[in-house]
Copies of this chain bind each other. A is one copy, B any other.
Amino acid sequence: MTAPTPRVGRGPSGNGTARVPWVLVLPALIGLLFLLLPLVGLLVRAPWATMGRRIVDPDVLTALWLSLSTSTAATLVSLVLGVPLAWSLARTEFPGRRLVRALVTVPLVIPPVVGGVALLLVLGRNGIVGQYLYSWFGLTLPFTPAAVVVAQVFVAMPFLVIGVEGALRGADRRYEEAAATLGAGRVTVFTRVTLPMILPGIGAGAVLCWARALGEFGATITFAGNFPGTTQTMPLAVYMAMQRDPEAAIVLSLVLLLVSLAVLATLRERWMSV
């Protein structure tokens, strides 16, 4: 290469301020608008006059509390079981891994009501596993708050697993190697290196999982039933309200939304901005 003439100035040199990349911002705005417009519809339609009275209804508070506690429990269970599962899928080799990876998505694709039926078939009092739970321990899972958690875990855990697996595959494995040379076994590497490095991914997965559990309806009503105070979560309450008074359903939905937004706005920025 003979001495090149250097370029000075490149392209239609900007006057300085970075231009807004419309190719990216425009679809982003459309997407955001699309996700939020329906919310506006709900807000417009909500019966503001009677709102206050409806919200303080103790049944609503019970359902809300049940929803929050079960979906949080479901998220915790999903974290405990799902993160190791994601790790196994991303970091180990075993025969049939490809199939197992696809199988993890089963609960995503199965219509939730069918999922609920499937859970009944397995864990119900006459179910494949449930009959032994019953005859040996006198345990019946369905129609208890535990059943709500089970239904939510079944439906929501795949979101966590797939999200975390994606994060694991995107992570630079050489840091794990470096930790191993420092004497860290696989478990230590996992907890002290891998986990912290994929924290944003786990955060995203947990948010998805929690939100999905919070909104879960079909599997819950089928597997856990719809008993106020025991298994009637907010989405079930919304469904019941829908039966007689669509406006009440909107109010309940808005309550659910507000609470979850508050939780997410508080937690997420903290979790994910590592």
Residues of B within 8 A of A225 (CB): none
Known: A113-B217, A166-B200; 7 extra A-B contacts, CB below 8 A, are: A35-B158, A38-B121, A101-B268, A108-B211, A109-B261, A169-B274, A172-B172
In whole angstroms, how far apart are the Cα atoms of A31 and B106 in the complex? 13
Interface of A is mostly: helix
Residue of B nearest to A30 (CB): B81
Quick check: A85 and B200 within 8 Å, CB to CB? Answer: no
Residues of B within 8 A of A234 (CB): 111
CB within 8 Å of B: which residues of A?
10-11, 18, 21, 23-28, 30-32, 34-42, 44-45, 80-82, 84-85, 87-88, 98-115, 117-122, 127-129, 153-154, 157-159, 161-163, 165-167, 169-172, 183, 185-187, 190, 197-198, 200-201, 203-205, 207-208, 211-212, 214-215, 217-218, 234-235, 238-239, 242, 246, 249-250, 253, 256-257, 260-261, 264-265, 268-269, 272-274
Residues of B within 8 A of A261 (CB): 99, 102-103, 105-106, 109
Residues of B within 8 A of A205 (CB): 163, 166
